[in-house]
């Protein structure tokens, strides 16, 4: 996070993105987002619109997408608000990418619960595949970022890749996920632990065991 910066405003950037405009599908979503707020409060929709713009950029570049300066200016003009306010929002939230990212944006959680459950191994596995923190790999496939808590502590360690979370990872499981992604498949999102569905206790329930099969009235036990 510390090394976030805006992509420099170059003539090439202007040439590539200067004509950016919402496609029909995203425009409809943008209109819907603006309609959620009272008239004259359209700038409340800035976060949604930045997200849509980033996704459209992603579609155009076959990546997760990012926010070039001309695109932020487009959003500012779309919402009739000062550009500096848009950049403030985009630079505040780390989910907005300020520089180009690869096809898959691998965001490894390194906060305490994940770290205790082995996020160091996950990072090492990523680095073994040639990724480096804050960089996009040469083939344009991977961008590695270390992020703070994503709220999946019960199934730590976890990695977020584009819109999906992959949890209960080990180095091997991560390799399998990344291989599948690289091969163009869509691996199952969520926990990677066999037999686990979401974040229920692994190895079966430890409390309310009698509730597993049928509803059970515990009140008599109190």
Partner 1 sequence: MPKVTVDGVEIEVPQGATVLQACELAGKEIPRFCYHERLSIAGNCRMCLVEVKPGPPKPQASCALPTSEGQEIRTDSEMVKKAREGVMEFLLINHPLDCPICDQGGECDLQDQAVAYGRGHSRFHEAKRAVTEKYMGPLINTVMTRCIQCTRCVRFSEEIAGVDEIGALYRGENMQITTYLERAATHEMSANVIDLCPVGALTSRPYAFEARPWELKKTLSIDVSDACGANIRLDARGREVLRILPRVNDDVNEEWISDKARFQVDGLTRRRLDKPWLRRDGKLVAATWAEAFEAVSKINPGKSVAVVAGDLVDCETMFAAKALAGALGSSLLEGRQTGLDYDCSSLAAVNFNSGLAGIEDADAILIVGSQVRWEAPLVQTRLRKAVKCGAKVFVVGPEWEATYPASFLGTDLAVLDKLPKDAEAAFKAAQRPALILGGAGLGKGALDACLALAAKYKLVRDGWNGFNVLHMAAARMGGLMLGYAQKGGIADLVKAKPKMLISLGADEVDYTRFADSMIVYIGHHGDKGAHAADVILPAAAFSEKPGTYVNTEGRVQWADKAVFAPGDAREDWTILRAMADALGVSVGFDSFEGLRAAMAKAVPALGREGLADYGALPKGKAGAKGSIEAYPIKDFYLTNPIARASVTMQRCSAELLHGETFAEAAE
The residues of the shown chain that bind partner 1, judged by CB under 8 A, are 1-2, 4, 6, 9, 69, 82-85, 87-88, 91-92
Q: Which of residues 91 and 111 has its CB atom nearest to partner 1 in the complex?
A: 91
Q: Are 81 and 72 in contact (CB under 8 A)?
A: no
Least distance CB 126 / partner 1 (angstroms): 24
Least distance CB 87 / partner 1 (angstroms): 6
The token pair at 209 is: 């065991």
Q: Which of residues 37 and 92 has its CB atom nearest to partner 1 in the complex?
A: 92
Q: Which of residues 53 and 87 has its CB atom nearest to partner 1 in the complex?
A: 87
Q: Are 55 and 61 in contact (CB under 8 A)?
A: no
How would you write the chain as a 3-class SS string? CCCCCCCCCCHHHHHHHCCCCCCHHHHHHHHHHHHCCCCCCHHHHHHHHHHHHHHHHHHHHCCCCCCCHHHHHHHHHHHCCCHHHHHHHHHHCCCCCCCCCCCEEEEEECCHHHHHCCHHHHHHHHHHCCCCECCECCCCCEEEEEECCCCCHHHCCCEEECCEEEECCCHHHHHHHHHHHHCCCCCCCEECCCCCCCCCCCCCCCCCHHHCCCCCCCHHHC
Least distance CB 34 / partner 1 (angstroms): 20
Least distance CB 75 / partner 1 (angstroms): 14
Q: Which of residues 84 and 214 has its CB atom nearest to partner 1 in the complex?
A: 84
Least distance CB 122 / partner 1 (angstroms): 25
Sign of CA dihedral 59, 60, 63, 69: negative
Q: Which of residues 92 and 116 has its CB atom nearest to partner 1 in the complex?
A: 92
Q: Which of residues 89 and 154 has its CB atom nearest to partner 1 in the complex?
A: 89
Least distance CB 115 / partner 1 (angstroms): 20
């Amino acid at each position: 996070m510390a090394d976030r910066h805006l992509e420099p405003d170059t003539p090439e950037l202007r040439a590539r993105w200067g004509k950016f405009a919402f496609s029909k599908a995203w425009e409809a979503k943008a209109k819907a987002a603006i309609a959620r707020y009272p008239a004259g409060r359209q700038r409340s929709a800035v976060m949604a619109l930045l997200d849509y713009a980033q996704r459209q950029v992603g579609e155009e570049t076959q990546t997760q997408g990012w926010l070039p300066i001309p695109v932020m200016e487009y959003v500012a003009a779309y919402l009739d608000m000062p550009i500096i306010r848009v950049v403030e929002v985009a630079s505040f939230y780390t989910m907005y990418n300020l520089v180009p990212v690869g096809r898959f944006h691998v965001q490894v959680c390194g906060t305490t619960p994940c770290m205790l459950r082995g996020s160091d191994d996950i990072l090492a596995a990523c680095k073994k595949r040639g990724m480096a923190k804050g960089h996009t790999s040469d083939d344009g496939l991977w961008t590695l970022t270390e992020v703070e808590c994503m709220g999946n502590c019960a199934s730590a360690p976890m990695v977020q890749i584009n819109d999906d979370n992959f949890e209960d990872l080990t180095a091997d499981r991560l390799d399998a996920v990344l291989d599948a992604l690289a091969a163009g498949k869509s691996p199952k999102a969520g926990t990677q632990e066999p037999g686990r569905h979401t974040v229920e206790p692994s190895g079966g329930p430890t409390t309310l065991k009698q509730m597993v099969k049928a509803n059970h009235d515990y009140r008599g036990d109190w």
